Amino acid sequence: MTARQSLDAIVTALQLRVDFPEAVMAETRALLAAPGIDDPSLVDRTALPFVTIDNAHSKDLDQAVYVAAEGACHLIAYAIADASFYVRPGSALFAECLRRGASYYFPGFSVPMLPRELSEHLVSLNPDGPRRALLFWHALDRDGNVVSTRLERARVQSRAKLSFSQVQQLIDTPAQSPLAGRDFEESLKRLKVVGRQRMQLAAERGLVRYRREEATVTLDGEGLAFSVMEVVRDEVELWNEQVSLLCNAEGGRLLRESNHPSVQPVYRVQGGPDPERLAGLARLTAHVCELEGLPTTPWQWDETTPLSDYLRGLPTGPAGTREDRLARALTRQAMLVNLRSEYSTEPGQHVGVGAEPYARFSAPMRELVGVYLHKEAVELMTGQCPPAEDDERLRAEVVQVANRARETQRKVQNLSNEVVMDRLFTPELSRPKPQRTVFTGTVMGFAGSKVHLKLDVPPLDVKLLLFDLAPAFKGAWLEVAREGACLVAKGTTEPLLRLGQALSVRVQKRDERSRRWVFEPVR
């Protein structure tokens, strides 16, 4: 079975439908024939030099941005694809979105929520013609604080589909950039200013920014190819992210403050870390300092210090060094104190983005919630709403579907990871054990009966059972000690394996019953 066939089997097992019913495609064809872009009710903003900024391979372009100076202040225009105009309650398209909930992403391909004729063409903010958009206008003061936000339904024209690296080159070395001199150059330079201002404000609020590191896996012919996503993203991506977060936070605020009884918002909420987990993290870092003989600054965290300040102070390289491995492991442990986010009908804090309230307006072609929120925003602007009881029932269904879709995406990720590991490790079984590849990684944590190891190359997470590790430690009964700072043999205190330690392993076998790979340490 090829890698693609294995991934297709996951699509089937999760009952994800790749094709669309004929009723959905009939509506799609009708929309393509009458796209509504010349709608006289739209405000014409085609003169503004909007651009989209995304990954180079992105096809469903949800957002376009334009930043204008107003003296020492700024005005941000943020256009989001007007999916709710095309996907309306009562239509076959909306019913299909309710069934799917979101787009689902696999290595090398996706199962989209909307037909690609819409999500990658008619609705997407491509630069090949004007498009409909829900437009957010944010007025900022000279420090980047929000003064006001207003909404309008508009017609916009993206000037270019840009990647993060293209914009970063324009900012860093304009003389070498082919974008220099284009009518959107000044807007992108202002994006740098407001992006940095918003990042500074987030830091002052104590927003935690975690080191981002993950494996990018793509289909390569019949196999799978691995690459490392850089830990430090281009600054442009961070600036663009800040504008998106601003839009979602302000959109949530406008809906929450609405006095119209038929406006029914949906929020994304994430509660603060559990106090016991935070106390455990403080104790863990103290044990790490003691075990490793490290100074308390910058390694030990106490609850009087903002977690964001502590994480920013941890060393960041060079890769593979003792300090780098330990910093990455401690960052992972800090991430684990957080609760998962979820969708809710009630507003609440979202600690992951530092906003209250927060509503996901920014992905309407990939998430049912985005379509629904755009509908509510239009009802807020026009005052034309369905009966409140009808919208309440629909909102409850949207929340249920959206949370279920998030769980489905987690299943997609976990099952795809199984395929990736099977393709990577199966060839090892045909070799004599001494000739098998030795994989080195970082011990990222201990949880119950498992050791979590992050391989260096390829950067995958694997789990090692304590039972499987015991032979390497003379058959000792292993247990986690010192708040998760190390492993010891039962009844002893001498560390056998420590958090942040480099550990080399090789494949021992595949346990077919539990569908997991068994590794043994190479000492």
Q: What is the DSSP letter of 16?
A: -
Sign of the torsion angle spanned by Cα atoms 55, 328, 481, 471: positive
Q: What pLDDT is attached to residue 60?
A: 93
Look up residue 21 and give its DSSP letter. -
Contact 184, 51 (CB under 8 A): yes
Number of neighbours of residue 205 by Cβ within 10 angstroms? 11
Beta strand extents in 127-242 (DSSP E only)? 131-140, 146-156, 158-163, 215-220, 223-228
Q: What is the predicted pLDDT for the residue at 349?
A: 93
Q: What are the Cα distances from residue 247, in Å, to 9, 76, 253? A: 38, 10, 10
Q: Rounded CA gap, 491 and 70, in Å?
A: 69
Whether residue 194 contacts residue 243, with contact meaning beta carbons closer than 8 Å, is answered with yes
Beta-carbon neighbour count of residue 188 at 10 Å? 25
**Tens place of pLDDT for every residue, the chain, 523 residues?**
788 899 999 999 999 999 999 999 999 999 999 999 999 999 999 999 999 999 888 999 999 999 999 999 999 999 999 999 999 999 999 999 999 999 999 988 999 999 999 999 999 999 999 999 999 999 999 999 999 999 999 999 999 999 999 999 999 999 999 999 999 999 999 999 999 999 999 988 877 766 665 567 777 766 777 654 434 568 999 999 999 999 999 999 999 999 777 789 999 999 988 899 999 999 999 999 999 999 999 999 998 998 888 998 999 878 889 999 999 999 999 999 988 999 999 999 999 888 999 999 999 999 999 999 999 999 999 988 888 788 899 999 999 999 999 999 999 999 999 998 999 999 999 999 999 999 999 999 998 899 999 999 888 899 999 988 999 888 889 999 999 999 999 999 999 999 999 999 999 999 999 889 999 999 8
Closest CA to 67 of 216, 197, 155: 197
Cis before 364? omega within 30: no
**Helix ranges (DSSP H) in 267-306:** 275-292, 296-299
3-state helix, strand, coil in the chain (%, to 5): 40, 25, 35
In the chain, the domains with their CATH numbers are 18-269+341-418 (no CATH), 431-521 (2.40.50.140)
Contact 131, 73 (CB under 8 A): no
Query: What SS3 string covers 380-420?
Result: HHHCCCCCHHHHHHHHHHHHHHHHHHHHHHHHHHHHHHHHH
Cβ(248)–Cβ(138) below 8 Å: no
